[in-house]
């Protein structure tokens, strides 16, 4: 389950059933520890030759700083970290990995919340934080060409002078990388109107798990052939490493109105949300926070949200000025009709920024009201919102586990924050249980186990609850096409690796992992 | 190339949740015979460390992360290193290198939504580093030179004036031999070209009476670098305070506040400076101690922690801390009475890290400046990123400091302002050489000098080249 | 072709798999390739049975929706069995409150629109070729003017159910708009020309139907003018729903902008657009002639099929691409008409069916070079058998090896529409 645990002491609260079903990570790189050490030494030699001297991290203490991403309770120290600066350097390292059967994991800024960038003890971590050039801002093409380590918000900063911005805006946009966004198909508040990362990445240079560089998509849409780009986006680094991204730039809207609306209850706020959408309005964003989440944000950034609110909605309308005016009137009225007791329209950029700051800091801010917490990420059809929120509240009161809710109300993407104190006996387990039950609620309402944070290490075990074996097997056909040896971020997304040996002309004898009873062959 | 084979676990198949536990049990990684990094005397607090949720929000504001893009030179990574130390990892050279590389700018503290008190963590860590780490001879010599020079006004005085840096014969050998002067000379030269009225050194009386009705009695810290290189700032501070109705008491016997020592883990030295500063201001009998150097103010506000273990001073330190105010903070609290004359100037206001990040003082100086008719205030892009001065950091790390300074200078120049205003002598020194390198000629002034000029109706030209 | 006995056995097997199996008629030929059998399964399960039977009897299979774009792409190497989805024509579920629709792949796109339209919603996919099924639209990734604002199928499809060549049924995505669990197989299926899997069910996100629409048109004469108009509109604050370029064979051009929204908003923006576009700009409530229709449909239906081209480029490349196409055609002595989304950088063009193959080949080569230079591609979607035989229809495809590997995984025996797609896939 998605979690951000502040403390080592909470490392691995027993994760209920999911713990036991997390399968072994398997790659073709099986062998004795000695073989592995040799293989890693071989890759290290290649990396040393290909990268600048300061581009390798081998010091054990330094390596430890890479042992986890934003989901800090999974920790593995990688065998080697490389900090390439060019596509060629990435390719050289990956080629060496392929040759020696060494698994590799890509990492951007390490803010992922599903353990996607969790390293392998027997593998290489390829960190893109030095590939941070914005190569081109092509306003006339409404595109930017950027390196994968470029920080999301920096794309917008670079495009703003030209009158454009990069629309997908995860709350972590001040630090998460475009490469990480691409791999996770990240969403954000404004994705309700503008779509997710997959709608905004038009091309990439991908270093395949064989170490080849292929160009997928490009400046123009509809490249002939299979839409491999569409599959790579959101594949969580399991199909190779993106070393360039061509992203769409969106024209800055003529008018933006940010409205903060206070409600007595989440029920009222949810009803207002539904009413707005049913009225045919597509706001740029509708975000909801409940009382507990408001308390945390208030403590962290003093965002001055309405006093005594049981829930707030942050609603943003943007577009042509006349349309915005019209929508604003309707939204204002609909909120009033659904019990809002305070509406505040941001009068300037500073107020707007403060409203958003409260929302965007909410996850991390929960650290201020609870020693530990789990960030959950599930999706439900929007119409099921009131029902599911009530069910979550029931879960919370029956278990005594506090749950704060922050979410993208417009598209039904919930982020319940399950609070606990890892020092207290059994608290971690209780929280995990509630967190898991919330996912089950999402599935039973026809939703998804993740709307934007990805499956990663964390939810691989949940995949079979949402998909059949056949579904998973079919997805993994793609994996087999890209990465038959299962060395690109192995162990993530899928609960059980599919062995790709049955393809005609490929491996004929049983895979060593099957023989060892470590994996299933479909 | 032995390290890569020293992986945490021979069992890649093992559950990562357990791998964490296995890997970081009590057995220290690295050399098995090595001592754990920290002793039990105030190591960085595990509880404060546990506040970090690993979100990474602090990374983009961290100057070393923006420079090198490495986790271990980011706040999050440094916290991980502290955690490793607490779990028994030895204090290796590389670990120390990453602690040393921290500028102490505290941008991460501002950025952190989770409220991690990195300032406390790094200060505790630095004390441990000083206790347990043996530095290279060159590093030691440089540090010895710095701490033999800066806290001593008379020695600093030997550096004043364009060519004196090279003569500087009045300085101890440890300073002359270290190469420190070669690093300082170009900066001093650049600064003398840009900062206002450096030559004039007014001698301040022990008490400056309030103009008009007395509203308060305040003490004033003169500081070492401020006092020697920017004496005009002290004079201006006294004048403005007086103009706003304060009797200003300037204790003769005050020495260094110990900021550099506090921020560099030199615990005993820091304690010594703190005690004597407390002594002199207690003797002066003032309700408020006004400070015009951001670095000094931030360290004086930390005296309670510095002297927490000293039974004779702990309580006095707490009382003292309650009285310390940055001059802009104080003036904003007091409210202005002295009329302002117009200054037709566009300024760029630079948040000194030790004012903005460490003391959270951002609005007050801006509000004071905006009170001046005709003055236009511009915000500097990437304002949260340090200029690279950071106390003695720029002397110890000249190369990266220059990169940061140049980056800051470019951002400053992009505002189109003609006067740069900030509240820390270090920033002025640092930025002036970068501005000069990039060929931007603009005036440099302390916030209080601008206020002083406005209150006295002085022309702009007194604030350096426009 | 299969031998008679094999065919009998296959027919037998198919009949036990599916209630509707018939011998093919000449009308069932796929782009000139005769088919032997036609199966019309009524469900996903039946489709799976049919594909299992086809696998058992080594039949090649060409999936077919309503057959409106069956000649697009290259002719298949063989087409033993046409798998017709027209009996899977139900719009299964319209969840208006959630703005989604779940439909069988054989449903007419127009039926879907009628269903969702009753709630004031729309599936924001244009239908350039009338009578299309949902599955056919997906397989060919056909698009129209509306893509400027809402994108194409890849931006709207949120879940699919597919049947693999080996008869395994799988789904990906789901019924919620936001979902990143697992690989997005839907993307892979879009534009795959039936060579990867058979789509049997699809879930789309919907948009509210705008309450007002307005068109603004202005004539243009040169490629540069067209390009300048596109840049002007895209850079302004008009929030256009469509930005179309229509350049007839005689050189007369019409640039058109569609504005959608509220009546007041559309009125305001329409006026702004008229001002912005300058002399000759006119507002209208109705679309201009040929709006959203591919240019080849203007041609007389008799005679050899006209050549249908799809040209893509970065937005700034529009001028050079249009110019080079016109020059190449003039040089080769053939007329060319072009129409498409200037705002998206996707144009359709047509050369008459009567144009000599080497003239077509020359135009294709020259214009393709310019498209490629501007980050795009040129594909010959359709044409006479001679044309398809004589020109490189798909052109160079950068990641072709990887695509072959994908095909090999999904359909190792090359059962589905073999040869129809890029690189002989
Ligand atoms: C406080 C907080 C708030 C957040 N809010 C949101 C939110 O609103 N919406 C949202 O969607 N997410 C959110 N996230 C999650 C996270 O920020 C996103 O998933 C982000 O896209 C991760 O980017 P990163 O650079 O940190 O990637 P990492 O964490 O470093 O990596 C993420 C995954 O991408 C892979 N990867 C990284 N770079 C590449 C590459 N170049 N090529 C191939 N694979 C690569 C990694 O292997 C890993 O699987 C939040 C996280 C935090 C801590
Ligand atoms: S104090 Fe400054 S340099 Fe040190 S970790 Fe924090 S942001 Fe980085
Ligand atoms: S911002 Fe705070 S919680 Fe987040 S990584 Fe940095 S120190 Fe840790």
Contact predicate C169/C161, CB 8 Å:
yes
pLDDT at A372: 87
Average pLDDT over residues A344-359: 92
Residue B15: pLDDT band with limits 50, 70, 90: very low
Q: Residue C127 phi/psi, 5° resolution?
A: -125, 80
Q: Residue A152 phi/psi, 5° resolution?
A: -45, -55
Chain A: give the shortest CA distance to residue B29, in Å. 7
CATH code for position C67: 3.30.43.10
Host H or E run for residue C261 = strand C253-261
pTM of the model: 0.92
pLDDT at B441: 84
Tell which residue, A193, A204, A213, A190, has the closest CA to residue A233: A204
Average pLDDT over residues B149-160: 72
| Per-residue pLDDT tens over the stretch B330-367 | 999 999 999 999 999 999 999 999 999 999 999 999 99
| Rounded (10°) CA dihedral B377, B380, B381, B382 | -140
Residues 6+ apart with CB under 8 A from B37: B84, B85, B86, B89, B90, B91, B95, B128, B132
As given in the structure block, the two tokens for residue B292 are 């015009």
Residue A429: pLDDT band with limits 50, 70, 90: very high
Pocket test for ligand 1, best of A183, A204, A209, A452 (most atoms within 8 A of CB): A183
User: Which residues of chain A does C207 touch, with a Cβ-Cβ cutoff of 8 Å?
Assistant: 282
A422 lines ligand 1 (CB under 6 A): no
> Quick check: is C44 in a domain?
yes
CATH code for position C113: 3.30.465.10
Domain that holds residue C323: 295-400
pLDDT at B326: 97
Residue B17: pLDDT band with limits 50, 70, 90: very low
- Rounded to whole angstroms, the Cα distance separating A333 from A313 reads 14
pLDDT at A508: 39
Residue B35: pLDDT band with limits 50, 70, 90: confident
- Rounded to whole angstroms, the Cα distance separating A436 from A415 reads 13
> Quick check: is C410 in a domain?
no
- CATH 3.40.462.10 occupies which residues in chain A? 255-444
Mean residue pLDDT of chain A comes to 89
- Rounded to whole angstroms, the Cα distance separating A98 from A172 reads 32
User: Which residues of chain B does A5 touch, with a Cβ-Cβ cutoff of 8 Å?
Assistant: 53
Contact predicate B284/B208, CB 8 Å:
no
59-118 of C, contacting A, C-beta below 8 A: 95, 97-100
- Rounded to whole angstroms, the Cα distance separating A435 from A71 reads 15
Average pLDDT over residues B112-125: 94
- With vertex at residue C397, the alpha carbon angle to CA C391 and CA C402, rounded to the nearest 5 degrees, is 135
Contact predicate A170/A176, CB 8 Å:
yes
**A238 CA to centre of ligand 1 in angstroms:** 14
Contact predicate C44/C161, CB 8 Å:
yes
Residue A311's Cα: distance from chain center in Å? 25
Residue B429: pLDDT band with limits 50, 70, 90: confident
Tell which residue, B6, C281, B273, has the closest CA to residue A33: B6
CATH code for position B259: 1.20.1050
pLDDT at B4: 29
> Do residues B56 and B159 share a domain?
no
CATH architecture of A255-444: 3-Layer(aba) Sandwich (3.40)
DSSP states along B412-436: HHTTT-SEEEES-HHHHHHHHHHHH
| Per-residue pLDDT tens over the stretch B69-83 | 999 999 999 999 999
Residue C58 forms contact with A (CB below 8 Å): no
Give Cα separations from A76 to A33, A183, A391, A488, B51 (angstroms). Answer: 16, 20, 36, 16, 20
> Do residues C98 and C203 share a domain?
yes
Residues 6+ apart with CB under 8 A from B233: B226, B292, B425, B446, B448, B449
Give Cα separations from A252 to A16, A140, C124, C147 (angstroms). Answer: 47, 14, 23, 19
20-49 of A, contacting B, C-beta below 8 A: 22, 24-26, 33, 36-37, 40-41, 44-45, 48
Residues 6+ apart with CB under 8 A from B416: B346, B378
Please say which residue of B153, B173, B194 terminates a domain. B194
Residue B438: pLDDT band with limits 50, 70, 90: confident
Is residue B198 over pLDDT 90? no
> Do residues B108 and B86 share a domain?
yes
> Do residues B126 and B145 share a domain?
no
Residue A116 forms contact with B (CB below 8 Å): no
> Do residues C69 and C101 share a domain?
no
A489 lines ligand 1 (CB under 6 A): yes
Percent of chain A with pLDDT over 70: 90
pLDDT at C229: 97
Is residue B28 over pLDDT 90? no
> Quick check: is C420 in a domain?
no
Domains: count for chain B: 4
Pocket test for ligand 2, best of B44, B105, B390, B408 (most atoms within 8 A of CB): B105
**Start-end of H helices in A210-288:** 228-232, 266-278
Is residue A93 over pLDDT 50? yes
Domain that holds residue B305: 207-332
- Rounded to whole angstroms, the Cα distance separating A177 from A195 reads 18
Contact predicate B369/B349, CB 8 Å:
yes
Is residue B25 over pLDDT 70? no
- The CATH number of A134-251 is 3.30.465.10
> Do residues C267 and C325 share a domain?
no
> Do residues C98 and C198 share a domain?
yes
Closest-CA residue, ligand 2 atom 4, reads B102
> Do residues B144 and B129 share a domain?
no
As given in the structure block, the two tokens for residue C131 are 């009578």
List ligand 3's pocket residues with C-beta within 6 A. A 364; B 52-58, 75-76, 79, 108, 111-112, 114, 116
| Per-residue pLDDT tens over the stretch A398-408 | 999 999 999 99
DSSP states along C67-97: SSSTTSSSPPS-EEEEEE-TT---EEEEEGG
Average pLDDT over residues A56-69: 96
> Do residues C239 and C330 share a domain?
no
Contact A477 C192 (CB under 8 A): no
> Do residues C272 and C254 share a domain?
yes
Chain C: give the shortest CA distance to residue A463, in Å. 8
For domain A24-127, give its CATH number from 3.40.50.10900, 3.90.105.10, 3.30.43.10, 3.30.230.10. 3.30.43.10
Residue B31: pLDDT band with limits 50, 70, 90: very low
pLDDT at C108: 98
Is residue B187 over pLDDT 80? no
* Beta-strand pair B246-249/B207-208: antiparallel
Contact A65 B81 (CB under 8 A): yes
pLDDT at A507: 38
- Rounded to whole angstroms, the Cα distance separating C53 from C197 reads 15
As given in the structure block, the two tokens for residue C408 are 């090999």
> Do residues C64 and C39 share a domain?
yes
Residue A24: pLDDT band with limits 50, 70, 90: very low
Please say which residue of B332, B356, B375 terminates a domain. B332
As given in the structure block, the two tokens for residue B215 are 């509203």
- CATH 3.30.43.10 occupies which residues in chain A? 24-127
> Do residues C274 and C319 share a domain?
no
> Quick check: is C419 in a domain?
no
- Rounded to whole angstroms, the Cα distance separating C161 from C184 reads 12
What's the first-to-final CA gap in chain B, in angstroms?
Answer: 56
Q: At what angle do helices A266-278 and A321-337 cross, to 10 degrees?
A: 140
pLDDT at A2: 41
Tell which residue, C406, C379, C73, C380, has the closest CA to residue A214: C406
pLDDT at B161: 59
- Rounded to whole angstroms, the Cα distance separating A447 from A441 reads 8
A229-238, A483-492, B169-178: lowest mean pLDDT where? B169-178
Is residue A506 over pLDDT 70? no
Q: State the chains in contact with A (3 or more Cβ–Cβ pairs under 8 Å).
A: B, C
| Strand boundaries in A154-276, DSSP class E | 164-165, 201-207, 213-217, 241-248, 250-251, 255-263
* Ligand at shortest distance from the CA of A172: 1
Residue A37's Cα: distance from chain center in Å? 32
Average pLDDT over residues A278-296: 93
- CATH 3.30.465.10 occupies which residues in chain A? 134-251
> Do residues B56 and B146 share a domain?
no
Residues 6+ apart with CB under 8 A from B203: none
A177 lines ligand 1 (CB under 6 A): yes
CATH code for position B453: 3.40.50.11810
> Quick check: is C134 in a domain?
yes
> Quick check: is B3 in a domain?
no
Please say which residue of B275, B304, B332 terminates a domain. B332
pLDDT at A102: 98
Give Cα separations from B279 to B168, B274, B286, B293, B296 (angstroms). Answer: 32, 9, 12, 20, 16
- As a whole number of Å, the CA-based R_g of chain A is 23
Is residue A516 over pLDDT 70? no
Q: Residue A354 phi/psi, 5° resolution?
A: -70, -40
Mean residue pLDDT of chain B comes to 85
| Per-residue pLDDT tens over the stretch A314-350 | 999 999 998 999 999 999 999 999 999 999 999 998 8
pLDDT at B168: 54
Is residue B176 over pLDDT 80? no
Which among C168, C178, C405 is the nearest to A451, CB-wise? C178
| Per-residue pLDDT tens over the stretch B303-319 | 999 999 999 999 999 99
A120-129, B173-182, B190-199: lowest mean pLDDT where? B190-199
* Ligand at shortest distance from the CA of B391: 2
Residue B226: pLDDT band with limits 50, 70, 90: confident
As given in the structure block, the two tokens for residue B322 are 């309650």
Average pLDDT over residues A174-190: 96
Pocket test for ligand 1, best of A104, A179, A247, A376 (most atoms within 8 A of CB): A179
Contact C268 A320 (CB under 8 A): yes
> Do residues B306 and B227 share a domain?
yes
A/B interface, count of CB pairs below 8 Å: 193
> Do residues B459 and B357 share a domain?
yes
pLDDT at B463: 79
The stretches in chain C having pLDDT less than 70 are 1-4, 298-301
Please say which residue of C40, C67, C87 terminates a domain. C87
Between residues A498 and A380, which one has the greater pLDDT?
A: A380
> Do residues C97 and C194 share a domain?
yes
Between residues B161 and A449, which one has the greater pLDDT?
A: A449
> Do residues C263 and C370 share a domain?
no
Is residue A20 over pLDDT 60? no
> Do residues B354 and B430 share a domain?
yes
> Do residues B238 and B317 share a domain?
yes
pLDDT at B183: 73
Domains: count for chain C: 4
> Do residues B249 and B356 share a domain?
no
pLDDT at B11: 37
Burial of C68-104, coded b for 16+ CB within 10 Å and e otherwise, reads bbbbbbbbbebbbbbbbbbbbbbbeebbbebbbbbbb
């Amino acid at each position: 389950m998605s979690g951000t645990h502040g403390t080592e002491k909470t490392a691995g609260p027993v994760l209920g059933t999911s713990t036991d079903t997390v399968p072994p990570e398997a790659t073709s790189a099986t062998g004795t520890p000695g073989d592995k050490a040799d293989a890693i030494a071989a890759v290290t030699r290649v990396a040393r030759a290909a990268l600048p001297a300061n581009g390798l991290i081998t010091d054990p203490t330094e390596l430890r700083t890479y042992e986890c991403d934003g989901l800090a309770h999974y920790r593995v120290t990688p065998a080697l970290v490389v900090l390439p600066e060019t596509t060629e350097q990435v390719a050289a390292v990956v080629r060496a990995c392929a040759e020696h059967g060494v698994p590799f994991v890509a990492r951007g800024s390490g803010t992922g919340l599903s353990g996607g960038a969790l390293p392998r003890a027997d593998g290489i971590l390829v960190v893109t934080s030095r590939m941070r050039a914005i190569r081109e801002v092509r306003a006339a093409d409404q595109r930017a060409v950027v390196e994968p380590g470029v920080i999301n918000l920096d794309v917008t900063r670079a495009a703003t002078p030209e009158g454009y911005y990069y629309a997908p805006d995860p709350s972590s946009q001040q630090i998460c990388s475009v490469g990480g966004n691409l791999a996770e198909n990240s969403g954000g508040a404004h994705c309700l109107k503008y779509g997710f990362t997959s709608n905004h990445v038009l091309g990439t240079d991908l270093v395949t798990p064989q170490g080849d560089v292929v160009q997928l998509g490009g400046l123009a849409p509809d490249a002939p052939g299979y839409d491999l780009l569409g599959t790579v986006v959101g594949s969580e680094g399991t199909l190779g490493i993106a070393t360039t991204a061509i992203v769409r730039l969106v024209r800055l809207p003529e008018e933006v109105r940010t409205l903060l609306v206070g409600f007595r209850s989440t029920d009222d706020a949810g009803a207002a949300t539904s009413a707005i959408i049913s009225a045919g309005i597509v706001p740029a964003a509708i975000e909801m926070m409940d009382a507990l989440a408001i308390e945390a944000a208030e403590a962290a950034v003093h965002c001055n949200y309405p006093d005594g609110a049981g829930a707030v909605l942050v609603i943003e309308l943007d577009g042509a000025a006349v349309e915005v005016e019209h929508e604003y009137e309707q939204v204002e009225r609909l909120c009033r009709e659904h019990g809002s007791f305070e509406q505040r329209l941001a009068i300037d950029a500073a107020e707007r920024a403060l409203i958003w700051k409260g929302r965007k800091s909410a996850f991390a801010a929960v650290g201020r009201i609870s020693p530990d917490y789990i960030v959950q990420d599930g999706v439900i059809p929007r119409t099921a919102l009131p029902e599911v929120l009530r069910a979550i509240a029931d879960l919370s009161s029956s278990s005594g586990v506090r749950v704060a809710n922050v979410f993208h109300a417009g598209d039904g993407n919930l982020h319940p924050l399950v609070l606990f104190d890892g020092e207290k006996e059994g608290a971690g387990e209780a929280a995990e249980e509630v967190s898991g039950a919330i996912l089950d609620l999402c599935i039973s309402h026809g939703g998804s186990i993740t709307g934007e944070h990805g499956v990663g290490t964390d939810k691989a075990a949940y995949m079979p609850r949402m998909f059949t074996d056949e579904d998973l097997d079919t997805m993994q056909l793609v994996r087999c096409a890209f990465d038959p040896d299962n060395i690109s971020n192995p162990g993530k997304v899928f609960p059980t690796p599919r062995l790709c040996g049955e393809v005609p002309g490929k491996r004929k004898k049983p895979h060593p992992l099957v023989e060892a009873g470590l994996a299933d062959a479909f | 190339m032995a390290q890569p084979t020293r992986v945490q676990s021979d069992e890649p198949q093992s559950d990562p949740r357990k791998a964490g536990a296995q890997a970081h049990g009590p057995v220290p990684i690295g050399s098995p015979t090595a001592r754990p990094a920290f002793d039990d005397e105030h190591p960085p607090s595990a509880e404060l460390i546990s506040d970090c949720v690993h979100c990474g929000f602090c990374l983009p504001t961290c100057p070393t992360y923006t420079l090198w893009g490495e986790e271990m030179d980011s706040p999050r990574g440094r916290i991980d290193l502290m955690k490793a130390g607490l779990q028994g990892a030895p204090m290796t050279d590389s670990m120390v290198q990453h602690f040393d590389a921290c500028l102490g700018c505290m941008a991460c503290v501002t950025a952190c939504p989770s409220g991690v008190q990195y300032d406390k963590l790094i200060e505790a860590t630095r004390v441990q580093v000083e206790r347990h780490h043996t530095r290279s001879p060159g590093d030691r010599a440089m540090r010895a030179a710095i701490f033999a020079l800066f806290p001593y006004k008379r020695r600093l005085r030997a550096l004043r004036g364009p060519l004196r840096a090279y003569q500087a014969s009045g300085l101890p050998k440890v300073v002359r031999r270290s190469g420190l002067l070669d690093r300082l000379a170009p900066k001093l030269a650049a600064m003398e070209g840009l900062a206002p009225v450096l030559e004039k050194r007014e001698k301040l009386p022990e008490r400056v009476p309030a103009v008009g009705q007395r509203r308060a009695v305040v003490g004033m810290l003169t500081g070492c670098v401020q006092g020697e290189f920017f004496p005009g700032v002290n004079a201006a501070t006294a004048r403005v305070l007086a103009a706003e109705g304060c009797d200003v008491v300037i204790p003769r016997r005050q020495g260094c506040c110990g900021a550099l020592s506090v921020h560099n883990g030199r615990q005993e030295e820091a304690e010594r400076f703190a005690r004597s500063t407390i002594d002199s201001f207690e003797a002066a009998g003032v309700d408020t101690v006004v400070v015009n150097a951001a670095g000094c103010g931030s360290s004086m506000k930390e005296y309670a922690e510095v002297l927490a273990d000293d039974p004779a001073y702990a309580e006095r330190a707490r009382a003292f801390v309650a009285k310390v105010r940055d001059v802009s903070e104080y003036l904003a609290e007091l409210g202005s009475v002295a009329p302002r004359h117009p200054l037709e100037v566009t300024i760029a206001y630079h948040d000194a890290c030790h004012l903005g990040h460490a003391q959270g003082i951002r609005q007050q100086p801006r509000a004071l400046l905006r009170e001046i008719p005709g003055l236009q205030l511009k915000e500097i892009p990437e304002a949260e990123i340090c200029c690279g001065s950071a106390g003695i950091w720029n002397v110890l790390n000249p190369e990266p400091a220059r990169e940061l300074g140049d980056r800051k200078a470019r951002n400053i120049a992009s505002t189109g302002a003609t006067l740069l205003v900030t509240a820390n002598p270090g920033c002025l020194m640092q930025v002036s050489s970068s501005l000069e390198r990039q060929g931007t000629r603009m005036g440099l002034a302390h916030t209080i000098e601008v206020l002083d000029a406005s209150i006295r109706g002085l022309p702009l030209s007194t604030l350096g080249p426009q | 072709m299969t031998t008679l006995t094999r065919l009998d056995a296959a027919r037998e097997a198919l009949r036990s798999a599916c209630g509707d199996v018939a011998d093919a008629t000449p009308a069932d030929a796929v782009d000139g390739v005769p088919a032997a059998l036609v199966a019309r399964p009524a469900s996903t399960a039946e489709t799976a049975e049919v594909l299992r039977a086809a696998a058992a009897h080594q039949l090649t299979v060409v999936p077919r929706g309503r057959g409106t774009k069956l000649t697009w792409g290259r002719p298949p190497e063989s087409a033993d069995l046409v798998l017709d989805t027209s009996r899977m024509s139900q719009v299964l579920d319209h969840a208006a409150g959630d703005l989604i629709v779940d439909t069988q792949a054989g449903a007419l796109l127009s039926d879907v629109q009628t269903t969702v339209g009753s709630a004031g919603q729309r599936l924001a996919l244009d239908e350039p070729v009338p009578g299309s099924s949902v599955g056919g639209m997906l397989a060919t990734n056909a698009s129209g003017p509306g893509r400027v604002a809402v994108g194409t199928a890849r931006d709207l499809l949120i879940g699919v159910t597919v049947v693999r060549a080996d008869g395994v049924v799988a789904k990906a995505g789901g019924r919620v708009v936001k979902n990143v669990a697992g690989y997005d197989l839907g993307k892979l299926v879009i534009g795959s020309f039936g060579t990867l899997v058979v789509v049997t069910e699809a879930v789309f996100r919907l948009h509210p139907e705008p309450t007002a629409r307005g068109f603004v048109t202005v004539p243009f004469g040169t490629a540069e003018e067209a390009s300048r108009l596109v840049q002007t509109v895209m850079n302004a604050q008009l929030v256009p729903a469509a930005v179309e370029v229509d350049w007839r064979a005689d050189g007369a051009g019409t640039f058109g902008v569609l504005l959608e929204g509220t009546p007041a908003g559309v009125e305001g923006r329409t006026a702004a657009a008229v001002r912005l576009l300058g002399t000759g700009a006119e507002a209208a409530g109705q679309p201009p002639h040929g709006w959203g229709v591919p240019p080849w449909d203007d041609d007389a239906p008799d005679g050899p099929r006209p050549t249908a081209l799809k040209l893509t480029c970065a937005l700034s490349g529009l001028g050079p691409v249009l110019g080079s196409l016109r020059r190449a055609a003039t040089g080769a002595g053939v007329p060319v008409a072009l129409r498409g989304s200037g705002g998206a950088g996707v144009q359709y063009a047509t050369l008459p069916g009567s144009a000599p193959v080497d003239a077509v080949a020359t135009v294709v080569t020259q214009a393709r070079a310019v498209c490629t230079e501007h980050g795009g591609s040129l594909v010959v979607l359709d044409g006479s058998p001679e044309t398809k035989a004589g020109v490189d229809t798909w052109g160079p495809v950068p990641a072709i090896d990887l695509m072959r590997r994908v095909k090999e995984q999904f359909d190792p025996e090359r059962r589905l529409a073999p040869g129809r797609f890029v690189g002989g896939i």
